[in-house]
Amino acid sequence: MINIRNEQPKDYRRVEEITRKAFWNLYFPGATEHYLVHSMRSHEDYMPELSFVIEENNEIIGSIHFTQAKVITPGGEEIPVLSFGPVSITPERHRQGLGRILITHAIGSAKKQGHRAIVLGGFPYHYKPYGFVGTKKYNISMPDGKFYTGVMALPLYDGALDDVTGTIKFSDGLYPDENGLEAFEATFPPMEKLSLPHQKAFEQAASELDEQEYK
């Protein structure tokens, strides 16, 4: 039986273990996402009310975590939005639709709580099925003024991003001090770090500019 509920402190280590396994050697040799989850929980932008675990038969098999973000308009106004990630499913249960179930639940919860929009970074093919489109459509750039294919937005109600332009500012909680990573990593069983061909594809995708024309 599948169940989704809010993450609780007793879940923290299990969630970190799953996150580590899910991301190990995915984007680069090793992983840092488990340390990110560990660190972000104590940041002021972390949103425990929108951080969930997915269980099967009362065993945690994945998680999703939200942080506050904002769009800064040309006039300096700060418009609150959300971001989520990392999203993890234990590798043994990949490609079984569990991530879709978890993300759909999380987006629905954000809508019910009255939030404006979600802005995130990732592979478009992962997030377009949920309605995410490049932020270029809404004239919301990264701080460098550029639009990237991997930076996407999802309005959570009709017109939520109408007349909203500016730059996206993700939470500083997504960029933890990596001086603590080595000591944190030492608390887990050793895993081999590998350089793999698909890691180069991620590096290239992360810098791809959005050349699409939006209506």
> SS3 of 168, please?
strand
Is the pLDDT confidence value at 169 over 90? yes
- CB burial string 63-89: b at 16+ within 10 A, e below: bbbbbbbbbeeeeeeebebbbbbbbbb
Query: How far is it, in rounded angstroms, from Cα 16 to Cα 22?
Result: 10
Domain containing 21 equals 2-206
Overall number of domains in the chain: 1
- Please indicate, yes or no, if residue 88 is contained in any of the structural domains: yes
Helix or strand holding residue 141 (H, E) = strand 140-141
Residue % of the chain over a pLDDT of 70: 100
Identify the CATH number of the domain in which residue 7 sits. Answer: 3.40.630.30
Could you tell me if residue 30 is inside a domain?
yes
Q: For the whole model, what pTM was predicted?
A: 0.96
Q: What is the pLDDT of residue 136?
A: 98
- Whether 215 is covered by a domain: the verdict is no
Q: What are the tens digits of pLDDT across the range 197-213?
A: 989 888 887 899 999 99
Residues 186 and 175: their CA atoms lie apart, in Å, by: 20
- Cα 188 to its chain centre, rounded Å, is 23
Please indicate, yes or no, if residue 213 is contained in any of the structural domains. no
Q: Is residue 194 situated within a structural domain?
A: yes
CA atoms within 13 A on the CB side of 131: 11
